[in-house]
Amino acid sequence: MSPPILQTRDLTVRFGGHVAVDAVTCDFHTGQLTAIVGPNGAGKTTYFNLISGQIAATAGSVRLRGRDIGGLSVAARTRAGIGRAFQLTNLFPNLTVLENVRLVVQCHAQQGFNLWSMAASHRELTDRAMAVLERVRLADLAGQTVSELSHGNQRKLEVALLIALDPAVYMFDEPTAGMSVDEAPVVLDLIAELKEQSDRTVLLVEHKMDVIARLADRIIVLHNGALAADGEPAEVIASDVVQEAYMGRDLEDV
């Protein structure tokens, strides 16, 4: 197997006396979709925060393509290839849908320090942003202010920003939470498409077992911050840890 693109080594963070992520050692390989499961408060979001740099680790390391990125800022990690969508919607509320996505595309095109040209007249940037909006079925709402969107559409835009970023490592934190039954499939299909692109790595925090069974190549289970299980989906779902902890129900019911 090729060397892992992303690795965490004994990654740990303590909040006061509480160990939220406890010495998690895990490798992620290019082309793999890994589902991360565990009850609420297990430390899944915190684990993501450590990888994308929103919080600093108490101990342990994060490596991207073999290089320790523990000292890099969030922005630097993003540009190095770690992209993140958030569990709690985290957008630019008073800008339009199109402008939200265009900001991502523009950063990619390294136009951020362009002081002179008109932002709205960059055709290729606008086209690329519109293409992303088509994919998440938000193109009709391109001109709307984000704060006026429904919750479901805001969740879609959250995903759209990550798609526009097109990082080497995609991190989705409960992307379909709070979406209606007809909205969720659009997002799940997009994630399935990413899986088809063999050079993309996906980390997905998700509670719905049917979704995980359909998409995941591998499941890791976090429990009280520690890695409790890691393996093939069928194997992990059947394992004692998961059976005992969740008794076969959807993980979110726990």
Ligand X SMILES: Nc1ncnc2c1ncn2[C@@H]1O[C@H](COP(=O)(O)OP(=O)(O)O)[C@@H](O)[C@H]1O
Task: Decide: residue 77, CB within 10 A, 0-12 exposed, 13-18 middle, 19+ buried.
Answer: buried
Least distance between Mg ion and beta carbon 14 (Å): 18
Half-sphere exposure at residue 7, Cβ-oriented, CA atoms within 13 angstroms: 12
Spacing of C-alpha 254 from chain mean position: 23
| 46: partner contacted, choices Mg ion, other proteins, ligand X, none (Cβ within 5-8 A by kind) | ligand X
Q: Is position 154 an interface residue for ligand X (rule: CB under 6 A)?
A: no
Least distance between ligand X and beta carbon 137 (Å): 27
CB closer to Mg ion, 46 vs 153: 46
Q: Are 39 and 64 in contact (CB under 8 A)?
A: no
CB closer to other proteins, 149 vs 229: 149
Binding to Mg ion (CB under 5 A) within 75-94 occurs at 87
Q: Is position 41 an interface residue for ligand X (rule: CB under 6 A)?
A: yes
| 234: partner contacted, choices ligand X, Mg ion, other proteins, none (Cβ within 5-8 A by kind) | none
Q: Are 11 and 47 in contact (CB under 8 A)?
A: yes
Which residues make beta-bridge pairs with 15? 18
Binding residues for other proteins, per CB under 8 A?
52, 54, 73-76, 78-79, 84, 86, 90-95, 99, 102-104, 106-108, 111-122, 161, 165
Q: Supply the DSSP string of 39-107, one letter for each residue.
A: -TTSSHHHHHHHHHTSS--SEEEEEETTEE-TTS-HHHHHHHTEEE--SS----TTSBHHHHHHHHHHH
CA distance 118 to 103: 13
CB closer to ligand X, 24 vs 136: 24
Among 24, 28, 37, 44, binds ligand X (CB under 6 A): 44
| 41: partner contacted, choices other proteins, ligand X, Mg ion, none (Cβ within 5-8 A by kind) | ligand X
Q: Are 175 and 159 in contact (CB under 8 A)?
A: yes
Chain residues that interact with Mg ion, rule: CB under 5 A: 45, 87
| Interface residue list for ligand X (CB under 6 A) | 15, 20, 38, 40-46
